[in-house]
Amino acid sequence: MCGICGLFGQVEFVDPERIKRMTFSLEHRGPDQEAFFYSPTLALGIRRLAIVDRAGGRQPIKNETEHIQVVFNGEIYNYKELREMLQARGHSLRQAGDGEVIPHLYEEFGMDFPSKLRGTFAIALWDDKKHKLLLVRDRLGVKPLYLRYRHNGLAFASELRSLLIGESAPEVDLFALDQYLSYRYVPAPYTIFQEIYKLEPGTLLAANLKRSVVETKAYSYWQIPDLNNSYDFNQAAGAVRDALEEALKIRWPEEVPAAYFFSGGLDSAGLVALHNKNYSEPARTYAIGFERPSQTRDFRYYSELEQASAAAKLLNTCHFERIVTLEEVKKNLTWILTVMDEPIADPTAIPLHFLSEFAAAQGEKVVISGEGADELFGGYTTYLEPGNYRKYHSLPEWVKALAERGFPTKTKRFSLSLGERYFGVGGLLKESQKQELYTLDLKAELASLNQSCPARNILELPGYAEEERMLRFDLLSWLPENTLMKSDKMTMRHSLEMRLPYLDQHLVELGASLPYQLKLHSNQSKAVLRQALKQLLPKEIVDRPKNGFPVPITAWLMHEFRQEMRNVLLDSKARMLNYVNKNKLEELLKGEVSSRSARLIWALYTIETYLAYTVQPLKSSNVRLRLVQSHKPMRKLGANMI
């Protein structure tokens, strides 16, 4: 993987010093090469992490006549087949790497070239003959790409913080803030800042400079397929197993070592089982857990080491694990929330940081993870709610009347449409709850805006069951803008490439075409995936319910972090006091901490920390924006080998 950036626009906008600083800020994403390309109206920067064709494979990449220049971040997994096809058509390819196919594909297929790529990528392609810049993000949004518009130019980068360099401090986008408090992340195409946007997954953006103005037009080159599969349960399971096995094989690197992030659950254990089937070398697996908080119920709520260790023994892996102390969390917390590069109130960023640091310290370059299986195959228990919704509405009216009197809060939810009651698997606050929290000024500002979240339209799709709409919403919104964004930033901060077999294009298209009844089967989540892996895994792993990446946020907020939250959120200079009612905030922080209130407190603390450490330094001084850990790097950690 790599980091890319660029400036496109009027001559005075294309500042060589600025592009150097932007590229320098991406050093952690690519420690192996730094390079640039300049033209009067364009500057490109690249930091390369060498995984494929390590000796060659340098960027920018060009075609034979050099009028096409490409920088890209990602991996193209079908590049060998594409090379053969391109060479048969007369193209001359000089490198052995995957990226060189991109400019030649563009020559052959024009703006349809992204549809030929099987992989994860963010691409910037410059056509000097047409004076056109193309920016592309992969189908599922595994790799991010941010855009910042000005009257005289367009800047883009793999990380949002690069777009803050050489510019005035941005203003908070109030609509995006409102979205953040609905979802715990900001849905694309918005970011928390005005003028800065995310290129949406599966999108190509074409930019031209006309009459000193940058004009852009976006094209969607991929959409989730319709439900059109006629497999029965066992046929579907066999097809899923074959597709997953192929997805793992094409992601296994040839030139560098690879390991697995391992929880011992179905998703990661299934990948390791397929590894054992195809490779003689034992899989290396990594897991972490936290030391026990003072307030917790049992081991499952703060550590997955017990589960991971047991599964590692069953699958005979070379297993590495460690326990993260509370002091380590405290020392790293501000840094973690800031290097996420966006306010994302998902506490699993904490263990992901330590897990990435741990694997990188052991010399790993590539890690394979089970991200995406839950959204594709229905792994979250929230997907079972529509079944209960239908059962409730099938009851006799007198029974429903009794239920409404006895359980008014719960039954009121069943009177709402899916769009009104579902804000994704990570949903935080409903509209009425936000109105209670906001200041009068913020409510007035939001009332004057006429904006909408494009992903919400998925929840109103006609002809799809509620389960299908929920799955599609999470696959197209929660997954790319929360889960994958967080995973990209945490792994790349440690110069570590993450590969995701469950998000292979072919497997996603297969999984999305299957009806939900094969995924949520007899009230069991991920039923078709469990069936697919049944012959490869021990029964205790196949039947194990989903636990998730355990982070004891609720327990910490009850005791260890309680005062810290109050100190930060109630500080007289706290930015969030401009947007939320201080009395309501004090009430929230004084009250008993529940899992629901903990999610809100954590979301407010996350965005307060992010804004304080991202925007304030820019307003204080115009210095190079290069985030450095404020503590000494952790010493290389040993591993407990099982």
At 145-155, the pLDDT tens digits run 999 998 789 99
User: Is the residue at 635 inside a domain?
Assistant: no
- 240: in domain: yes
Question: Which residues in 75-105 are b (16+ Cβ under 10 Å) and which e?
Answer: bbbbbeebbebbeeeebebebebbbbbbbbb
Residue 254 lies in a domain: yes
pTM over 0.75: yes
Residue 150 in domain: yes
Q: Within this chain, do residues 210 and 313 fall inside the same structural domain, yes or no? A: no
User: How crowded is residue 225: how many other Cβ atoms within 10 Å of its Cβ?
Assistant: 13
Q: Are residues 212 and 317 in the same domain?
A: no
The verdict on residue 355 lying in a domain is yes
List 76's β-bridge partners, or say none: 119
Displacement of CA 19 from its chain's centroid (Å): 26
Cα separation of 306 and 312, whole Å?
10
With 0-12 CB in 10 A as exposed, 13-18 as middle and 19+ as buried, what is 120? buried
Other CB atoms within 10 Å distance of the CB of residue 351: 25
Peptide bond into 60 cis (omega under 30): yes
What sign does the CA torsion over 383, 228, 503, 263 have? positive
In a domain, 411, yes or no: no
Going by DSSP bridges, is the β-strand pair 42-48/61-62 parallel, antiparallel, or unpaired? unpaired
Among the candidates 520, 545, 570, a domain finishes at 545
pLDDT over threshold 50, residue 621: no
Is the domain of 485 the same as that of 514?
yes
Residue 564 pLDDT exceeds 60: yes
The CATH code of the domain that includes 113 is 3.60.20.10
Whether 584 is in a domain gets the answer no
- State how many domains the chain has: 2
Q: Are residues 308 and 180 in the same domain?
A: no
Are 358 and 284 part of one and the same domain?
Answer: yes
The answer to whether residues 369 and 492 belong to one domain is yes
* 494, 357 Cβ separation under 8 angstroms: yes
pLDDT, tens digit, 9 for 90 and up, residues 466-492:
999 999 999 999 999 999 999 999 999
Residue with tokens 């950036």: 5
Helices (H), 30-147: 79-88, 101-109
Cβ count near 476 (within 10 Å)? 23
Nearest to 473 by CA among 271, 147, 136, 185: 185
Q: Considering only 115-124, 320-329, 346-355, 417-426, which range has the smallest mean pLDDT?
A: 417-426
Q: What is the spatial distance between Cα 158 and Cα 172, in angstroms, rounded to a whole number?
A: 20
Token pair 């952790």 is found at: 634
**Same structural domain, 197 and 126:** yes
- What is the tens place of the pLDDT at every residue in 298-321? 656 778 899 999 999 999 999 999
Range of the domain at 246: 233-379+465-545
Looking at the structure, do residues 248 and 291 belong to the same domain, yes or no? Answer: yes
Work out whether strand 196-198 and strand 146-150 pair parallel, antiparallel, or are unpaired.
antiparallel
In this structure, are 257 and 311 located in the same domain?
Answer: yes
Q: How far is CA 384 from its chain centroid?
A: 24
pLDDT of 297: 64
Which CATH number characterizes residue 485's domain? 3.40.50.620
Q: Indicate whether 481 and 509 sit together in one domain.
A: yes
User: Do both 78 and 194 map to the same domain?
Assistant: yes
Residue 404 has pLDDT above 90, yes or no: no
Predicted confidence at residue 242, as pLDDT, reads 98
Listed in sequence order, the DSSP H helices in 260-346 are 266-278, 305-315, 326-339
Of 545, 580, 607, which residue constitutes the final position of a domain? 545
Same domain membership, residue 244 and residue 114: no
Share of the chain above pLDDT 90, in %: 75
Last residue of a domain, one of 545, 576, 597: 545
Question: Quick one: average pLDDT of 182-187?
Answer: 96
Mean per-residue pLDDT over the chain, rounded: 90
Q: Is residue 139 part of a domain?
A: yes
Tell me, what DSSP letter sits at residue 546? Answer: P
Q: What is the pLDDT of residues 53-96, one digit of tens each?
A: 666 667 899 998 989 999 999 999 999 999 999 999 999 888 77
